[in-house]
Structure 1
């Protein structure tokens, strides 16, 4: 087909698309004894196949970069093997697939391991890719692994994915390339198993994605690891050969494997819910002691009022997940020489998220559990579970406190 014929085929009327979905739905559950396994992606016939699947999901999750509070849609999830791997790194998911049996298998997968953090919160939904039963702007990210090429219409699926994706969200795809449909195995599956196998043309995907409302596409030119090992016998030491490998990768990768990201607008601003190794920006605070208690008696609690300005470029999140990420104001206690004795004398949460440049006032009440003596107090902000601001170069005001007997 020409590019215009492909575009017209992908944008054919909804009735035609639904008829194709009906045929797939009628045949999907009949194939489960052959095509599904709770051990997938650990392939029972070939270790190489297993490594390639694990490579795919590793690259896809790195591109997706889910944050601790994100909700991810596993689109056309199949046996939910990617859902399981996301659950193992504590990512919240909803899985959707055309097959009821697939969703039953997915629930069985996650239910088999009590260690999975969000096992009981995961949802499994039977639905067509062109008619997702979710509200607009529901998901922070979408993951689609080796499934888009089975759908009757790329255009209809991309419109739905864009609709349910939040502004700033990403949809990450790992699909076969431009020659997929003509491969012998694809031809066999279409002929003998009635499986829809389509090639994935990145120029066509880009056009359909832009028409669906996505802002841009990022292409990731990576081939499977086995391709390099087969052709080069490992990583070459010669610079010229390395450049040749890269040039060939960029040239050949789209034909072999289409890895790409569709962006729904600009990326969201960085905030403290990002994993520690993903924090890009400065954690910095200006803390002014407005009203303090210079002396208290043993057993007497005290309250300090603080004015705090976010002078960095990361948004401070007031609420985190069970693994942290929220910002609080902490009070450390020091001896006369400035040595920190306790880092948890007091903690006070933020009243709301604090954007860069914004100012808040908080009151910090500290229990009176210090013995008599003279102490140094240090006020600092902390990303719970990640770091104190002081360790990132942020100044910390200090003062003395007299505890009287």
Structure 2
């Protein structure tokens, strides 16, 4: 049987909409426009360059990598009156903050970060994103072609100190062609609006593929196929010799394949707020008509932006730094349910890793898995969240594996108690919060009081 064409499917959708929308609906035309497929245009379709406009490709050909690095540094040096703006990013003004934070959310979600990952912030500028990644517990390589930008980044870290015990950032000057990093040294790459400023994007993508570990990911926020003729881009190129290249996804796809990446994946979203009434929201949740308007809003935004992910070939096993991988079955057997005061409780335990990631060993700085004990009274009122923790050894636990052991639990003192045994990925999450079931053990401790 012959499959219906895209046009035929679109026509069917149009007739369905016309039949089911209320008569006279003002939304009908836009609904049809959003659902019926337009003629498929190339993602890289470009408008003619206006007469007299700067040709970004020609400008790139006229500059060497070294000259571009010098112009990038001069841009910062000659615009130091904007220093506060750079250090305040992304919160310099409301409009920029709204757009930037929504795009950043897409990048972070696409990277699937975990604390302790080594992340290269390519084109870091003043380091605003690097600092956020450090605060999230990542080991950040702050990388830029401009020495002045890296000095600003150091100043940002000094002025707005990272809270808590987090990895120290590394500052790396990029020479425009290669990263002074070993092969397979980086877990993740993030690039917010820097790739389109390079004159050698193919070479840069190849280098990113070299320094990424197998299974690593790179996330990019870039403009679209007509960026170079945008008025702001023309202004920057005329006055600062900044390269404002168009981003052509078919070229990115080809270069990425040569560098060891899978085909690019593009994020579908919009930074333009989209709101519905309660009634329309209910219809949207039910899969009815109002969803078309969101689709239309996204489409208009996506014509101008390219937020995409590159995933390097190879296997990357998840581990206990990722909440999604924290699943287990827990069995605990005490030798007794009644103790004299000051005598520890001996228990035996059997733990099975039923999740998708390896439990990191006790030596890991972030995410080592331990068996923890919460202390409650008979009314299940919490008395001590961290009554005791048990290290599970130096080797870690692979998915599907089971470990057994015994441990001594400190005596909680006279009274009747309930001990809850749950696994914890240190500095990440308790397993119960990720959906696993903890185990309860009752305990009576002899003494003057029968209840705390």
* Aligned pair partner of 1:330 in 359, 372, 375: 372
Alignment CA distance shift 1:73-1:338 (3 Å): closer
Report if aligned partners of 2:327, 2:434 keep a CA contact under 8 Å in 1.
no
- For structure 2, the residue ranges without an aligned partner over 5 or more in a row are 1-43, 45-59
Change (3 A) 1:72 1:368: same
- Is 1:31 matched with 2:79? no
Deviations 1:165-215 (A, max 9, x none): 222221110001000112233233223321111100111111111111012
Q: Name the CA shift for 1:73/1:102 in 2 (closer, same or farther; >3 Å).
A: same
Relative distance call for 1:377 and 1:123 in structure 2 (3 A) is closer
Worse-superposed segment, 26-35 or 380-389? 380-389
Deviation (angstroms), 1:152: 1.2
* Number of the residue aligned with 2:304: 256
What CA distance in whole angstroms lies between the structure 2 residues aligned with 1:82 and 1:245?
29
- Cα separation, 1, equivalents of 2:447 and 2:371: 25
CA deviations on 1:348-397 (whole Å, 9 max, x unpaired) are 012132122112233313345634x7766554433446335499353627
CA distance in 2, matches of 1:58, 1:326: 27
Aligned-partner Cα distance in 1 for 2:206–2:413: 61
Report if aligned partners of 1:69, 1:321 keep a CA contact under 8 Å in 2: no
Deviations 1:262-296 (A, max 9, x none): 0123674444322xxxx33662224254x846776
Deviation at 1:155, TM superposition (A): 1.2
Single out whichever of 392-401 and 145-154 deviates more from structure 2. 392-401
- The correspondence of residues 361-372 of structure 1 with structure 2, limited to 5 A, is 361-368=404-411, 370-371=413-414
Q: Return the TM-score normalized by structure 2.
A: 0.71
**1:232-271 correspondence runs (5 A):** 237=280, 240=289, 242-247=291-296, 249-250=298-299, 252-265=300-313, 268-271=316-319
- Residues 193, 312 of structure 1: CA spacing in aligned structure 2 closer, same or farther, 3 A cutoff? closer
Following the alignment from structure 2 to structure 1, what is the Cα–Cα distance between the partners of residues 232 and 378? 75
Name which of 137, 143, 156 aligns with 2:184.
137
In structure 1, what is the Cα distance between the partners aligned to 2:103 and 2:364?
27
Question: Residue 77 of structure 1: SS of its match in structure 2?
Answer: coil
Matched, 1:299 2:342: yes
Maintained 8 Å contact 1:287/1:397: no
Number of aligned positions between the proteins: 376
**Structure 1 residues 321-355: Cα deviation after superposition (integer angstroms, max 9, x where no partner):** 87x64321124556678887655443201213212
Contact kept in structure 1, 2:66 and 2:175, CA below 8 Å: no
State the Cα RMSD in Å: 3.7
Q: CA deviation at 1:103?
A: 0.3
Q: Secondary structure at the match of 1:216?
A: coil
Kindly state the Cα deviation for residue 28 of structure 1 after the two structures are TM-superposed: 2.2
Q: Is the 8 A contact 1:17 1:153 kept in 2?
A: no
Helix, strand or coil: the match of 1:39?
helix
Distance 1:242 1:308 in 2: 46
CA contact (8 A) 2:326 2:355 kept: yes
Which residue of 313, 321, 331 maps to 1:273?
321
Match of 2:98 among 51, 57, 60: 51
**Alpha-carbon distance between aligned partners in 1 of 2:171 and 2:144, rounded to the nearest angstrom:** 8
Q: Which of 97, 115, 131 is equivalent to 2:144?
A: 97
Q: Distance in 2 between matches of 1:199 and 1:49?
A: 21
Question: What per-residue deviation string (whole Å, max 9, x for no partner) do you get for residues 80-134 of structure 1?
Answer: 2222333344433111111111100110011102344478711211113430011
